[in-house]
Amino acid sequence: MLRPLIALAVTTSLASAAGAATIYPLDRATILAQSPFDLKVEFDKVVTPDQVTVTINGKPAEEVLGKKVEFVEKEDGVDASAILIRAASIAQPGTYEIEAKAGDETKSVKWEVFGTSATPRAKNVIFLLGDGLSVAHRTGARIMSKGMTEGKANGRLNMDDLDHMAFIGTSSTNAIATDSANTMSAYMTGHKTAVNALGVYADRTKPSQDDPKVETIAEALRRTGKKSIGVVSTAEIEDATPAAVVSHTRSRGDKADIVGMFLQTQPEIILGGGSAYFLPQSTAGSKRKDDTDYIAKFRDAGYALAIDKTELEAAAKTNTGKILGLFHTGNMDVTLDRDFLKKGTVETFPNQPGLVEMTNVALGELSKNPEGFFLMVEGASVDKMSHPMDWERSMVEVIEFDKAVGVAMEFAKTHPDTMIVVTGDHTHSVSIVGTIDDSKPGPDMRDKVGVYADAGFPNYEDKNNDGYPDSVDVSRRLAIFGASFPDYYETFRPKLDGPFVPAVQNESKQYVANEKYKDVPGAVLRIGNLPKSADTAVHAVDDVVLQATGPGAEGFKGYMEESDVYKVLADALGLAPATN
Ligand SMILES: [Zn+2]
């Protein structure tokens, strides 16, 4: 067995030594038939056009794709040549081998072009994404919301009852680790990409918006039919996850430009935070660097506008078919602050809708289209509260997210032609290890951590039956810890005075434990295990659990890459029926 392995290793290293060029889409790309994408070959040195040949299954690429090749002798800031074929597409499903040569440089990659069912299997798709949703988040939300007796859960989360399941790999093209841009982009385009990239392969040139593009699900829906599109998030609407539905940029930080990309695709429903990037720079609170008033542009495009819960309800009654709801200049407040503690920025934005209300309005509007719809709903702050290890806030966000899942499931009862997908985009290294019991003796909070039999059960209550624990600050609560962290003070307690800020920057720009929590009784200093440039916990590389139901959902099973998820969505929606 050893011999063939060695032979294979030698072949691989020889091949990569000879072929220094890079071809986008990358090797093993899966491409929706008929969908436009940019083909780019980056050569390793300056070459002349007559030295270059690019073939697809042995025929000139120009001929196969029916598009002109752009030759770039010297790429911007790079001492090497490249060729580009913009907005190419391949009609017939199959395996395609692409070979690029320039002098002694050669490179070949294989693509799989896939078709879909001739007739769509689902009329509607509701894709619910809990950002950073990990297994411990689900367990914690279930225990806090439903309770547990003698080891059995007293109730189930809505997502617990979705009948199909898969494990999803979330790694990016340039690292095993990942962020919300490349992960959601893979779900929404079928192509994996690099950290921070949306709807493009990350090329070597500096500009963020010239990289080879791939089609987003929103563009595919616009190209192939008349379905409505909805994007709902508790984050800034230009944040990575919602942006991935419509955007093309190497840099998720291009938020001002991403607003323009939303206007280009015009999803019928856009609900979330992030109004700062819609306002011209002259307006107080604007984060734009130009005078473009995107609020006015969206109004001109026929959108009803809403800036709080009351206006959202009113906008839903105007029947314009298009709603732009921007309820915060930045990220919206989390449920624990919005509905219970009134901390965070709730004083400034007192009337924000929650994810449940936004999902309800979105479904009410989108379902008016007889052609059906695609709706993306993001529970963004599961992640945003897991970074600072504010576990109570993140768990309550999961409960809210699950209630939005419930809204979708209720809708599907009367609209059985609806596929529901519930997943995360990456995980956090969060784990529940037992309980923290204040009644245990001694001043040391560590001694109050109960593990194994000593953990017993937490004593959260939900007397008013709203699905949320009446208080997260109970005397025997979940012991939730993270495995990646900067220096910080572990207080073993919920953060009742507002979201946790574990670390702050010192004069040498390193993150050190936030002294604000030093004197919390029993707090212990945990020396970080991350570089001192890290201000919070980081994403984990662990698989994500995806669950789904409805027509086409049986396509989700076993282990899948995020890019494979798009194949199931495309198939359910019939985005590439066979052509003859
Ligand atoms: Zn994150």
Q: pLDDT tens digit string along 206-243?
A: 999 999 999 999 999 999 999 999 999 999 999 999 99
pLDDT digits (tens, 9 = 90+) for 336-366: 999 999 999 999 999 999 999 999 999 999 9
Number of H helices, E strands in the chain: 14, 30
Give the distance (Å) from ligand 1 centre to CA of residue 384: 6
pTM to 2 decimal places? 0.95
Q: What is the pLDDT of residue 4?
A: 40
CA separation (Å) from 490 to 446, 471, 506? 10, 20, 19
> CA–CA separation, 433 vs 276, rounded Å?
40
Distance 132 CA to ligand 1 centre (A): 6
- Going by C-alpha positions, the residue among 373, 115, 117, 412 that lies closest to residue 226 is 373
CA pair distance 116, 568, nearest whole angstrom = 9
pLDDT digits (tens, 9 = 90+) for 87-140: 999 999 999 999 999 988 899 999 999 999 988 999 999 999 999 999 999 999
Residue 83 has pLDDT above 80, yes or no: yes
CA of 1 to the centre of ligand 1 (A): 42
429 CA distance to ligand 1 middle (Å): 11
Sheet strands (E) in 43-178: 52-56, 59-60, 70-72, 82-88, 94-102, 105-114, 124-130, 148-149, 152-153, 164-169
**511 CA to middle of ligand 1, Å?**
18
Residue 417 Cα, ligand 1 centroid: separation in angstroms? 33
Q: Ligand 1 centroid vs 536 CA: distance in angstroms? A: 10
Q: If you measure from the C-alpha of residue 252 to the centroid of ligand 1, how many angstroms do you get, rounded to a whole number?
A: 13
The CA 50 to ligand 1 mean position distance, Å, reads 47
Terminal-residue alpha carbon distance, the chain: 46
Predicted pLDDT at 1:
36
Q: Is the peptide bond before 25 cis (omega within 30 degrees of 0)?
A: yes
Distance 244 CA to ligand 1 centre (A): 15
How many Å lie between the centroid of ligand 1 and the Cα of residue 470? Answer: 28
Residue 444 CA, ligand 1 centroid: distance in Å:
32
β-strands 476-482, 430-437 pairing:
antiparallel
